[in-house]
Structure 1
Amino acid sequence: MLVKERKYGVKDDKQVTLFTVKNKNGFEVSCMNYGCVITEVLAADRRGQYENVVLGYDSLEEYGQNSIYLGAVVGRAAGRIKEGAFRLGENVYHVTTNEKSNHLHGGHKGFSHVLWDATVLEGAEETTIEFTHLSKDGEEGYPGNLSMKVAYTISNNRDEISISYSGISDKDTLVNVTNHSYFNLSGNLRRDILNHELTLDSPTYLELNKEFLPTGKLVPVDGSVFDFRESRKIADGVHSGHPQNVLVGYGYDHPFLLDENKNNRIVLMEEKSGRKLTVETTESSVIVYTGNNLNSTENMRGKRLRNHLGVCLETQGPPDSIHHPHLRSVILQAGKTYTSKTVYSFGVI
């Protein structure tokens, strides 16, 4: 496998390194140690042409504050925490409120806006970029010194990237980590994602309130545009008058619950290019976000950044579950190990 490293820029007086791994087929993944951001994924269409299938920029300067978390690992707790407060045992903790009165994606820096240590582990059949970070006790308000590891593993034979997460804390804390890549299978942002088709075996989704926080209500998908158990176009939700689609800016930004007892499978396809992305995860939910609020005057690799240019498939535990005991807990007990794994496999229809 071909592995390259180069200086991508400087952040906080430290070098940011871009890693590029290319397998024998031509499949290629680029990522940096700032926020573990995946900047580019080159995957083949039905003609065998490898093109980029994620949103991203060509320079560190363009990422700026990365307010839309392009390609980043987010945590300690992905999603929102109501009023930036939660109770663990006898203690109440107040975390950063960085979206009005709520906490979002780990706070001002979290995992997405810090430099991680990185190591390249090369093997005969796969190469791993291993990122490590110590999130100190009290950082963003979270309790516990949390040692985190994120591993991006690229296969030499298969066009796939596996993301494994692990962490251990010396105090009880919250850990709910995901990758926030925006996918667009048309290739080099040629088209938006409205005609992408999604298949997702989920019988229920979480209702959101006006602050995009889960109300705790589990809503059956039956007979609605939220039913992805058979393939459905993203456009169905964008053009829908359903109050929940309208609420989030015409589209989806909702947690869909998955079966905790099996390796869940999600499939995204684009007919015109013939590309297919299969996502398998150990997680209990996935947030489907259809880029409803991407409109900008900015250009991204020659294209204007606009709504519905990419779709996120954020595999994680249910957001704000600390306030909804009937949802799967994201509490990590002191001395216990947090683990999660999601595999993104690319192929053709």
Structure 2
Amino acid sequence: MMGSTAAFGAPASSGRLSISSEPFGKTTDGVAVERYTFGSAHGIQVQMLTYGATIQTITAPDRHGKRASIVLGLPTLADYIAKSPYFGATIGRYGNRIAKGKFSIDGKSYQIPTNDGENALHGGPVGFDKKVWKATVIKEASRVGVSFHYVSPDGEMGFPGTLDTTVAYTLNTRGELTLEYKATTDKPTIVNLTNHAYFNLAGEGNGSVEGQLLQVSADAFTPVNSKLIPTGQLPPVAGTPFDFRRGKPIGKDIRVGHEQILIGPGFDHNWVLNNYDGKTVRQVVRAYDPESGRWLTCSTDQPGVQIYSGNFLNGSFTGLTGRTYRQGDAFTLETQHYPDSPNQPNFPSTVLRPGQVYSTKTVYGFGVG
């Protein structure tokens, strides 16, 4: 199935596009949060919050026309503030882990507060996922969406430089959700932005994703140590549970007693994507749910993707439709530079300098077949 594009059927059409907004509560310090709804009531429709520039829902029809959100989300702002494990959030300044929160640029050392054992995860304890972004509506004939803007001051979470960041989320008439990240700095710094949507193509709250099919264009991956920090090696996926090149159910090898699976526990790793040149957006992932017929593609110009199999979802989250999320109920496709790149000289660099523009793009395509 995964080897045939025909099996995916036609892309979803968003038809006539519209956008609206409404209040979504206030943060604990009184900052107002808005929710934007854009797309089509009959095709793909996205809801996003200014808190964390967060995707709350992506609603798509199945092969029978039944609509459901295919990303995990929470019903209230208070839930996001109190307990969200980065559901749908825009992640920064540095997505994924930095060993012991330490790195250096041009011989100068920096320390990020740790929030994942001894490591810094997703930008530290108060990352971009916990900021209220300024939103500007994008409304054109062929696409609609929101541009989110946040200026991170010099020294925030220990990172050097004032980072001026814009992330535009737009949905076009072909049902493609495009994420365009841009950032500039006034001092040398590191940047690795991504989105942390948790996908379940059967619909959020509809059980495990282990039977959903996944295909990843990656001949290698980055194994990790017991603290989930890359070892620096880039071994081939061939002969391991990490080989998704021809496509297979997500859960097919997740119970294999492989050392890296035991560390996870499950998949929580970076895949080294093929054909990376730093600028070309190429399709790198396809996923398909045989039950609903919904499919998803992911295209990016990034060198890696973190695929996480929801290992730490433990039933303590009540989702949008009142059902709890348990282990294995979603997977992520976090397009990114490799984890701990600032401390791994053989990994592609994440350093951004004054005068440079950090600019990356990721596109999610949706459909039913």
User: Structure 2-normalised TM-score?
Assistant: 0.91
User: Are 1:291 and 2:310 counterparts?
Assistant: yes
Cα distance in 1 for partners of 2:290, 2:234 equals 32
Cα distance in 1 for partners of 2:84, 2:99 equals 20
Cα distance in 1 for partners of 2:204, 2:220 equals 33
Could you tell me which residue of structure 1 aligns to residue 286 of structure 2? 267
Is contact 1:34-1:116 (8 Å) kept?
Answer: yes
Shift of 1:279: 0.5
Cα distance in 2 for partners of 1:228, 1:147 equals 37
Is contact 2:217-2:244 (8 Å) kept?
Answer: yes
Aligned AA (1:93):
Y
Cα distance in 2 for partners of 1:253, 1:237 equals 14
Cα distance in 1 for partners of 2:236, 2:156 equals 38
Could you tell me which residue of structure 2 aligns to residue 335 of structure 1? 355
**Structure 1 residues 228-260: Cα deviation after superposition (integer angstroms, max 9, x where no partner):** 1101111123222111111111x2001001121
User: Are 1:305 and 2:322 counterparts?
Assistant: no
User: Are 1:319 and 2:339 counterparts?
Assistant: yes
Is contact 2:20-2:37 (8 Å) kept?
Answer: yes
Could you tell me which residue of structure 2 aligns to residue 18 of structure 1? 35
User: Are 1:344 and 2:361 counterparts?
Assistant: no
Cα distance in 1 for partners of 2:318, 2:30 equals 27
Q: Secondary structure at the match of 2:245?
A: coil
Shift of 1:50: 2.2
Shift of 1:24: 6.7
Shift of 1:272: 0.6
Shift of 1:298: 3.2
Q: Secondary structure at the match of 1:46?
A: coil
RCO higher in 1 or 2 (8 Å CA, sep ≥ 6)?
2
Cα distance in 2 for partners of 1:331, 1:66 equals 31
The range that moved more, 296-305 or 203-212, is 296-305
Could you tell me which residue of structure 2 aligns to residue 182 of structure 1? 198
Could you tell me which residue of structure 1 aligns to residue 6 of structure 2? none
Is contact 1:53-1:189 (8 Å) kept?
Answer: no
Aligned AA (2:282):
N
What's the C-alpha RMSD, in Å, of the aligned pairs?
1.3
**Structure 1 residues 119-173: Cα deviation after superposition (integer angstroms, max 9, x where no partner):** 1121111112000000000000000001000000011x21221100000000110
User: Are 1:92 and 2:73 counterparts?
Assistant: no
Cα distance in 1 for partners of 2:95, 2:204 equals 28
Could you tell me which residue of structure 2 aligns to residue 171 of structure 1? 187
Runs (5+) with no aligned partner, structure 1: none
Shift of 1:188: 3.9
Is contact 1:237-1:252 (8 Å) kept?
Answer: no
Q: Secondary structure at the match of 1:277?
A: strand
Shift of 1:204: 0.4
Aligned AA (2:354):
A
Cα distance in 2 for partners of 1:298, 1:121 equals 32
Q: Secondary structure at the match of 2:129?
A: coil
Cα distance in 2 for partners of 1:141, 1:39 equals 29
Aligned AA (2:220):
T
Is contact 1:25-1:159 (8 Å) kept?
Answer: no
Shift of 1:222: 0.7
Could you tell me which residue of structure 1 aligns to residue 271 of structure 2? 256
**Structure 1 residues 283-334: Cα deviation after superposition (integer angstroms, max 9, x where no partner):** 0000110001111333222212210111000000111011111111111112
Q: 1:66 to 1:336 in 2, by over 3 A?
A: farther
User: Structure 1-normalised TM-score?
Assistant: 0.97
Could you tell me which residue of structure 2 aligns to residue 109 of structure 1? 126
**Structure 1 residues 40-90: Cα deviation after superposition (integer angstroms, max 9, x where no partner):** 000121223221100001111122334410000111111111111111002
**Structure 1 residues 253-288: Cα deviation after superposition (integer angstroms, max 9, x where no partner):** 010011213433210111010010001001000011
Runs (5+) with no aligned partner, structure 2: 1-16
Identity %: 36
Instruction: Count residues in correspondence.
Output: 347
Is contact 1:168-1:338 (8 Å) kept?
Answer: yes
Cα distance in 1 for partners of 2:124, 2:83 equals 13
Matches within 5 A, 1:1-349: 1-11=17-27, 12-23=29-40, 25-155=42-172, 157-249=173-265, 251-258=266-273, 259-261=275-277, 262-265=280-283, 266-300=285-319, 301-349=321-369
Q: Secondary structure at the match of 1:283?
A: coil
Q: Secondary structure at the match of 1:237?
A: coil
Could you tell me which residue of structure 1 aligns to residue 8 of structure 2? none
Cα distance in 2 for partners of 1:105, 1:197 equals 27
Q: Secondary structure at the match of 1:43?
A: strand
Cα distance in 1 for partners of 2:204, 2:101 equals 38
